[in-house]
Structure 1
């Protein structure tokens, strides 16, 4: 039986993407035209039709999106794995009120697929730790998420 394809985030995925998460993003490499996958964490869904993320504005992700706007976010959560594809654009070249030079990218969602293989579920979601000053990391995370919500 084929997985159902949605054209926007489900209620569960929308709620899941209201805070920082480990996700991967696939872009088309601007030099090789091949696939490029990166891990990101500053991600936020302002609506069920859009997802935003912040990355260093010198990131290869930014160059790739400028060359080809088609992207796929891979999200692991709610006991499954999801593929969120759409068209990305740089919404803000440098987020204000954030000490780093971060670009804000917005994805207009085209489709959302549950891509978990048949007869299984995710039993433990990915976890990560910031390896630098925890207090500084928390402050920066709050600044970035607030700026993404305001933009």
Structure 2
């Protein structure tokens, strides 16, 4: 995908967004107007043009999207770095059947760019682990992923 602009997720990126993955998301801060970066792992591609993410309801991202729906996602996958631009919409600020206050946000993909610098590739993707109770983390992940599937 180098030097190409797409308007949809290619199959490799769609597949990458079917599993637990660390991504960063940029929004525009509603107060300062400055870019704001957020790190999340609850993200899934529903189809080649639609993503859903979950964040804590008190996340600054929720307030930022109320002021400006523009988002950019930085994804490391398929041996490269991608910028996925889109329009975010808050589906709910309180997902049902999730014990913590969780907002579900839908992102309509408008553009995808391979932004890896010339002559290189990603050889190892970042890994993360949940540092709280392992069983509680698995239960919460299951509940949040179900909320993502349902849209809230």
Q: Name the TM tier (shorter chain).
A: over 0.9
> Gapped runs of 5+ residues in structure 2?
none
After superposition, where does 1:29-108 map in structure 2 within 5 Å?
29-108=29-108
The answer (yes or no) to whether the contact 1:20–1:145 under 8 Å persists in 2 is no
- Aligned counterpart, 2:122: 122
> Gapped runs of 5+ residues in structure 1?
none
Counterparts of 2:39 and 2:48 in 1: how far apart (Å)? 22
Count of residue pairs the alignment pairs up: 150
1:4 deviation in Å? 0.3
Counterparts of 1:134 and 1:124 in 2: how far apart (Å)? 24
1:93 deviation in Å? 2.0
1:134 deviation in Å? 1.0
Provide the aligned C-alpha RMSD in A: 1.0
Q: What are the Cα deviations for residues 62-95 of structure 1, in whole angstroms up to 9, with x where unaligned?
A: 0001111001000011111110001101012211
Could you tell me the TM-score, scaled by structure 1's length?
A: 0.96
Aligned-partner SS, 1:64? helix
Could you tell me the TM-score, scaled by structure 2's length?
A: 0.96
Counterparts of 2:63 and 2:30 in 1: how far apart (Å)? 7
Aligned-partner SS, 2:47? coil
Counterparts of 2:129 and 2:148 in 1: how far apart (Å)? 21
